Structure 1
Amino acid sequence: MRDLAETVDRAFAAALYAQDDAGLDTGASLLVADQGGWPGVGRELLARGEAYVRQGWERGWQPADVLRLVRRDLDERHLRITGDLIAAEARRYARLPARWGAAEVWWTGDEEYADRLAQRERADRFTLATAFLEVLRLLIRLPSIEPVGPLPGDPADALAEHAHIEPRMLGRIRALLAKAEATNFPEEAEALSAKAQELMARHTVDEALLAASGKGPAQVPGACRIGVEPPYEEAKAVLLDAVATANRCRAVWNSGFEFSTVVGFESDLEAVELLYTSLLVQGTAAMTRAEAAQRSGGRKRTKTFRQSFLLAYASRLGHRLAETAEHTATEAPDNLPALVARDVAVTSRAEEMFPRTTTTRLRGATDHAGWEDGTAAADRAHMGGRQKPLPR
C-alpha cells in the first residue's frame, strides 16, 4: 500500500504542479507501469480526487460551477470523470445543500472503479490516467471565489429556513413558461409569459408583507450562480441582469468563469432562474426565425447579426421588465415599505459579497437589421401585460 501511495505521489509531483503539459505523460506512465496494480491505482485516484473536490467546495465552488469549467477547458471524458469525483465525495453526506445537484455513484465498489471506468470509456489505461491527471490538475488550481451557500455537512444548512415558491404556484409558472416557449405565435407567448411574471411578482409582494408582519419565517437574502456561457455571453449577462433586477435581486457577472452570481431572497432567486431560462429560449427561437427571414430575402446574416439581435432583445426586455416591476409595486402603495426593506436587505448582502465590482464595456451592436429584429422580438416577449410598447 505504501508503494502504491508513493507511486501516486510521484505521478502527482510530475503532472499536477508543472506549468506545462510535459509532466502529464510521465505521471500517466508511472500510474500504469504496474498493470496488476491498476484497480488499486483507481481506488487511490478516486480517494484523492474526492479530497480535491472538497477543497474546491471550501474555496466557494459548487458542482455546476466546476462542471462548467471542465466543459469549457477539457472535453466530455473529463466531464464524466469530474462527475464521478463529485458523486464519490457527495456520498459522504446524508443531506446535500439546495442546488447541489451531484450525481449518484454508479460503480459497486471503489476497487472496481478503474476497470469499470475503462469499460465505460472504451479507452486504454494510459489515456484514462492522463485524463484523470488533467482533471485533478484543474481542481487543485481552482482559485477562491465568493461562497453562495453552505457546504455539504454544514449543520447550519439543516436549520436554515427558506420561503420557496409554493409548489402549486411553481407548477403553474413552469407550465405557463413551457407553453410560451413551445408556441410559434408571439401574441400567445406574450400573454403566457406576462401571466407567469404576474404570479412571480405577486408572490414577492405577499412574501414581503408576511415578513414585515412577523408572520412568515425569518429570512435573509441568499445567492445562487447561473451559467452565462458563450456564444453571445455579453447579451445573456445583460438579459440576466434585467430579469434579476425586475425580481428584486442583484446580479454580478464573472466573465472569466462564465457565470453570474444572483443575490436575493430564495423565492425570488427561483423566479429569476425560471424566467431567465425561458426568455433565453424564446429569444434564441426568435433569432432563428429572424435569420431565416433574412436569408429568404437574399441577405446573408452572420455572427454580428446574432450578437446585435440578442443585445437588442436583452436591452429592450430590460426596459419592459423594469416597467412591469414598477407597475406591480405601485398597485398598492401600502406595500412599498415592505418591498423597500426587502430591497435594502438584498443590496446590503450584495455589497457585502462584492465590495469591489467593475463596469464592463460591451461590444457594440453593429448590425442594424439584427438590432431591429431583436427589439421587435423583445416587444413580443415582454412581461408588461397590457402596456404599450416603449418608444424606440
Structure 2
Amino acid sequence: MRSDRTYIRTDELHAEALLAELGDVYERGWQPADIVHLTARSGDETDVSLAALTVLFDARRTRAAERAPDDWLRQVRAIADRHPGLARIAALTPDLGTGLRRAYPEASRYQVDGLAFTWKYLPAFTRLDAPPSQWPPLRAPGADSAAPDPRVLERIRGLLSKAESTDFPDEAEALTAKAQELVTRYALGSALLTGTTRLADPVRGRRLHLDGPYIKEKVLLLTAIGDANRVRTVWFTRVQIATVVGTVSDLVQVELLFTSLLVQATRALGAAGTAGRRGGSATAFRRAFLTGYAKRVGERLREADARATASAASDAHVPVTSLAPILARRSEAVDTEFRRLFPTTRASRSRGIDADGFHAGRDAAESASLATRQPRIER
C-alpha cells in the first residue's frame, strides 16, 4: 500500500512539472494549438494525446472559458473537438496526474518527463495574445467581438462546402468567388454604415499550422489568398507555422478560403496526375502545378475583391474612389502591426520550377478560384 501511494505521488509530481513547463512556454509566446502541432512533429500519437490532455486540463484550471481571448479559446475548443474523450477526462479529473493515468495507464513517467523536457527548451516566439498569467479575472463582454456576423460566416462556409464537393469546375469557381466577395462587401458595408474611413475591426495575428507534402507550395497558396485580402504572411520553416496578420474579419475569411482551396487544389492535383513522369520529375511537376495554381488563385481572388468593392460602392450610392481611404487605412494598420510583431523579415526567393506543371496548375485554378499579384513569402 505504501509503494502505491509513493507511485501516485510521484506521478502527480511529474504531472505538475509538465503543467509548469506548459505555463512557462505560454509565457514565451506559444499557444495551445502550437504545442499540439509541435508535439505531433516530434513525438508519437501518445505524446500528442498527452499534450492535448495537458492543454485541456490547464484550460480548465485557468478558467479559459471565462477569461481567455477569443482566439485562444477557439484553439482550446478545436483541440477538445479532435479529442472528445480527453476533453471529458480533463473536465472530470481532480488533477492532471489522475487524468494521465486514466487516459494512458501505459504511459511511463519517462514519457511525461520527455514531453516536459521538449517544452522546456522551446525558444521564445512572437506573442500574439496575453498568456494565462495576464488574463483578467473575467473577460469583458464583447472584448473580441469584431469577427463577421455568424450568419455571414455560415453562408461563406456553405458556399465553400459546395465548391469543394461539386464535380463542375465552373460551379466551384463561381461559389468560391462568391465567398470571397461576401466578407469584402460585409466589411466595407459596415464601415460605410458607421460613416468612418476606419474599419471597426482590430488588427491581429493568427497562426496556421501546415504539414507536408509540398509545404512551401501550400505557403504560396496561403500567401496568395492573404495578399488578395490585405493580409500579411510570415512563414517559420523550422516549426512549419505561418502567421497571418490582418483585421479579424479578413483573417477569418483567409483561413476559410485557404482550408477550402487547399482541398480543391489537392483534388485538382490528383486529377492532373504527373503528365507521365516518375520519381523526381513527377515531384517537380506537382510542385510546379501547385505554384501555378497558387498564383492564378491569387489573381482571381483579387478580381473578386475588386468586384465586391465596386458592388459595395454601388449599393451605398457612392463612387468607388470614396472607399479608397477605408482600404488604405486598413492596409496601413496591417503593415504597422506586422512590423511591430516581426521587425526583421526577409522575402523568400523563388526557385526554378517545371514550366509544364506551372501552366497546368494555372489552368486548373481557372476552375476553382480567384486573384492577386505574384505571391510573396516573408520570413
TM-score range for the pair, normalised by the shorter chain length: 0.7 to 0.9
- Give distance in 2, aligned partners of 1:333 and 1:215: 15
SS of structure 2 residue aligned to 1:224: strand
Counting only pairs closer than 5 Å after superposition, residues 44-55 of structure 1 correspond to structure 2 as 44-55=13-24
Counting only pairs closer than 5 Å after superposition, residues 357-376 of structure 1 correspond to structure 2 as 357-366=345-354, 368-376=355-363
1:290 aligned onto 2:278: no
* Unpaired segments ≥5 residues, structure 2: 81-86, 312-319, 372-379
Counting only pairs closer than 5 Å after superposition, residues 156-235 of structure 1 correspond to structure 2 as 158=140, 160-210=143-193, 213=196, 218-235=200-217
Question: What is the TM-score with the length of structure 2 in the denominator?
Answer: 0.82
SS of structure 2 residue aligned to 1:380: coil
- Give distance in 1, aligned partners of 2:244 and 2:100: 39
Render the CA deviation track for 1:292-315: whole Å, top value 9, x for unaligned: 8x4xxx554732222111111112
1:304 aligned onto 2:284: yes
Report the CA distance between 1:157 and its aligned residue.
Answer: 5.4
Change (3 A) 1:288 1:58: same
Q: Which has the higher contact order (CA 8 A, sep 6+)?
A: 2
Report the CA distance between 1:256 and its aligned residue.
Answer: 1.5
Question: What's 1:3 paired with?
Answer: none
Give the superposed CA RMSD: 2.5
Question: What is the TM-score with the length of structure 1 in the denominator?
Answer: 0.80
Report the CA distance between 1:349 and its aligned residue.
Answer: 0.8
Question: What's 1:137 paired with?
Answer: 117
Counting only pairs closer than 5 Å after superposition, residues 347-362 of structure 1 correspond to structure 2 as 347-362=335-350
- Give distance in 1, aligned partners of 2:14 and 2:129: 28
Render the CA deviation track for 1:12-43: whole Å, top value 9, x for unaligned: xxxxxxxxxxxxxxxxxxxxxx6652222222
Report the CA distance between 1:138 and its aligned residue.
Answer: 1.1
Question: What's 1:342 paired with?
Answer: 330
- Give distance in 1, aligned partners of 2:254 and 2:98: 42
Question: What's 1:5 paired with?
Answer: none
Report the CA distance between 1:75 and its aligned residue.
Answer: 1.2
Question: What's 1:56 paired with?
Answer: 25
Q: Which amino acid aligns with 2:101?
A: D
Question: What's 2:56 paired with?
Answer: 87
Question: What's 1:10 paired with?
Answer: none
Report the CA distance between 1:234 and its aligned residue.
Answer: 1.1
Q: Identity of counterpart residues, as a percentage?
A: 36
Render the CA deviation track for 1:143-188: whole Å, top value 9, x for unaligned: 1111112333612953634321111111110000001001121111
Question: What's 1:314 paired with?
Answer: 294
SS of structure 2 residue aligned to 1:213: coil
Report the CA distance between 1:86 and its aligned residue.
Answer: 0.7
- Give distance in 1, aligned partners of 2:194 and 2:125: 31
Larger Rg: 1
- 1:154 is matched with which residue: 129, 135, 149? 135
Is the Cα–Cα contact under 8 Å of residues 42 and 113 in structure 1 kept in the other structure? no
- Give distance in 2, aligned partners of 1:171 and 1:261: 24
SS of structure 2 residue aligned to 1:253: strand
Q: Which amino acid aligns with 2:189?
A: D
- Give distance in 2, aligned partners of 1:161 and 1:36: 46
- Give distance in 2, aligned partners of 1:242 and 1:63: 27
Is the Cα–Cα contact under 8 Å of residues 269 and 289 in structure 2 kept in the other structure? yes
Render the CA deviation track for 1:171-230: whole Å, top value 9, x for unaligned: 1100000010011211110011111111021122123335652898x5431111112322
Report the CA distance between 1:105 and its aligned residue.
Answer: 5.2
Question: What's 1:275 paired with?
Answer: 257
Is the Cα–Cα contact under 8 Å of residues 43 and 114 in structure 1 kept in the other structure? no
- 1:96 is matched with which residue: 47, 50, 68? 68
Render the CA deviation track for 1:318-362: whole Å, top value 9, x for unaligned: 222233334444562211111211111111111111111012224
SS of structure 1 residue aligned to 2:233: strand
SS of structure 2 residue aligned to 1:333: helix
- Give distance in 2, aligned partners of 1:137 and 1:236: 31
Render the CA deviation track for 1:265-311: whole Å, top value 9, x for unaligned: 1111110110111111100111011118x4xxx55473222211111
- Give distance in 2, aligned partners of 1:114 and 1:183: 44
SS of structure 1 residue aligned to 2:348: coil
Is the Cα–Cα contact under 8 Å of residues 84 and 105 in structure 1 kept in the other structure? no
- Give distance in 2, aligned partners of 1:63 and 1:364: 37
Is the Cα–Cα contact under 8 Å of residues 88 and 105 in structure 1 kept in the other structure? no
* Unpaired segments ≥5 residues, structure 1: 1-33, 385-392
SS of structure 2 residue aligned to 1:260: strand
